[in-house]
Amino acid sequence: MDLCILLPPIPYICYTLLLSCEARALTPQTAETDAIRFLVGTQSLRYDNQIHIIDFDDENNIINKNVLLHQVGEIWHISTSPADKGILATCYNKTSDTKVMTCAAVWRMPKELESGSHESPDDSSSNTQTLELLCHLDNTAHGNMACVMWEPMGDGKKIISLADNNILLWDLQESSTKAVLSSSTALEGKGQLKFTSGRWSPHHNCTQIATANDTTVRGWDTRSMRQIYCIENAHGQLVRDLDFNPNKQYYLASCGDDCKVKFWDTRNVTEPVKTLEEHSHWVWNVRYNHSHDQLILTGSSDSRVILSNMVSISSEPFGHMVDDDELSDQEDQHQEDKIKEPLQDSVIATYEEHEDSVYAVEWSSADPWLFASLSYDGRLVINRVPRALKYHILL
């Protein structure tokens, strides 16, 4: 069932992994900060779906894979608890003959897989294990689940799910075995109101989320469940994804079907701060690097992954801002800074390893210089930020 293809190393390391099925759900194991681990959910209508736990051994350049069965349906979205390595949530399709319903559930993976397996890869296929269902997020009254978001930096007790035009805030109780709907709100109005995606802001004490529906991006306060800002026509067409700048609290990135990635200051939403137009088809995913917010990762259905360096709107000091004292101390550094200076907003690299649409890109939660991208044909590619750039940012 498993097949690994290691492509020959190119200046930046790239590993390609073919899953057996189509897949579009990818997440890093958020709570894990040491090992590089990604979770991939497959989409198959006719077979049991799986969650692949991909471990990447950075030192030895080896990929370990464990497979968990996810029998309830094909996985459209997957997210992991920021507090508990073993807990994850999926949005999956439950199909009957006449109806498709997207549900969400919280799961626990087997204990031994939580912190990675060190089994040899060859017998892992035979050794498929099953997820333990913790609780369903009951959406019978709310519609199809688009995504599940965990409270960032939280204790893993609060999640928000987007179901059609509803925002549902759940409390997980009794060690996550029970999900209680604590509050909810519905987007009213006319037009296309179905939420396509959302992000929970790590700022403001985790009281804000942003959602996307049709061409609009909206900000919500989770305490009052009220809209706090609204970016009408953020994109010419459907908005596909959002992400918050981890270091600058008012900055938000969005991407959509107009092939563009836009950066917004939520205090002034009339104009984007910056627009990137590098992809040649819909942009499905945009992700800020968790530590170095100038690094922007985007995945698109033109089968490309693009890593951009948006220095000008990052939290990093832009231009030459080193202290004079430091300079006099270290002439060498001064020299280096001078070389560093001309770095502008630019595309760092375009990764073309995928042959099909890329529906998910994610940074590793453990290594800020590493990211994974997943295309529809089930190919997972792990890449590193080019070394030169890495040193440039670090030094």
Partner 1 sequence: MAAVTTGSGAGSGAAGSPEATGGSTGGGGWRRPHGPLQRYYGPSTAEAAEAPPDPTDINGPHFDPEVFMNKVRSECPLGQLLAREAALGREIRALDSDMQTLLYENYNKFISATDTIRKMKVDFRHMEAEMDDLAANMAAISASSARVSAALQDRHRRGAQLAGVQALLRKLQALVEVPGRLRRWAGTEPARALRCHARARAVLRHYRHLPSFRAIEDESHAIMADLAQRLRTRLREETLDPKELIECVEMLLQLEEPAEELSEEFLSQAGARLEAELAALEAELPAADPSGTATTPPPPASDILDFVDRGSSAFVGTLCQLAGSYRALFGGDTGRLEPFAAALATRYFALLERRLALERGLGDTSLLVRALDRFHRRLRALLELLPAGADAAAALVARAARERVDRYLRALQTFFLGCLGDVRQALAAPRPPGKEGPGLPELLAQLAASVLGQLKAVLAYVQLFTARDIAFASLPYFKGEFCVTAVREGLVVAFVRWLCRTARGFVDGPAERGAPAAPPALLLLLARLCLDYENSTISYILTLTDEQFPPQDSGPAVTPGPALCAEARAAAQRLLDHYVQVQGAAVAQMLRKSVETRDWLGTVEPRNVRAVMKRVVEDITAIDVQVGQLFEEGVRRAQSSDSSRRAFSVYSSSRAPGRYAPSYTPSAPMDTHLLSNIQKLFSERIDIFSPVEFNKVSVLTGIIKISLKTLLECVRLRTLGRFGLQQVQVDGHYLQLYLWRFASDERVVQGLLDEVAASAAHRCLDPVPMEHSVVELICERG
| Half-sphere exposure in the Cβ direction for 381 (13 Å, CA) | 31
349 within 8 A of 359, measured Cβ to Cβ: no
The only residue of 20, 184, 207, 333 in contact with partner 1, by rule CB under 8 A: 20
User: Interface with partner 1 includes 14 (CB under 8 A)?
Assistant: no
The token pair at 114 is 């939580």
d(CA 114, CA 91): 20
Structure tokens at 345: 């907003």
**Chosen residue from 57, 112, 271, 326 binding partner 1 by CB under 8 A:** 271
CB of 39 to partner 1, least distance (A): 21
Q: Is 355 in the site for partner 1 (CB under 8 A)?
A: yes
Residues paired with residue 80 on neighbouring β-strands, in sequence order: 88
The owner of tokens 């199909």 is 95
285 in contact with partner 1 (CB under 8 A): no
What length does the chain have?
A: 395
- Binding residue for partner 1, selected from 176, 208, 294, 357, defined by CB under 8 A: 357
Q: Which is nearer to partner 1, 221 or 356 (CB)?
A: 356
Q: Does 18 bind partner 1 (CB under 8 A)?
A: yes
Judged by beta carbon, residue 32 or residue 241, the one nearer partner 1 is 241
190 near partner 1, rule: CB under 8 A: no
> Contact region for partner 1 (CB under 8 A) — 111-119, 199-207, 336-344, 374-382?
374-382
Name the minimum Å distance from CB 94 to partner 1.
10
350 contributes a contact to partner 1 by CB under 8 A? no
Q: Pick from 201, 247, 303, 314 the residue near partner 1 by CB under 8 A.
A: 303
Q: What percent of the chain is helix, strand and coil (3-state, nearest 5)?
A: 10, 50, 45
Is 382 within 8 Å of 374 (Cβ atoms)?
A: no
- Asked if 99 is part of the footprint of partner 1 (rule: CB under 8 A), the reply reads yes
Per-position DSSP letters for 230-295, written without gaps between them: EETTSSSS-EEEEEE-SS-TTEEEEEETTS-EEEEETTB-SS-SEEE---SS-EEEEEE-SS-TTE
Binding residues for partner 1 (CB under 8 A): 1, 3, 18, 20, 22, 45-47, 93, 95, 97-100, 232-233, 236-237, 258-259, 270-271, 279-282, 301-303, 352, 355-357, 376-379
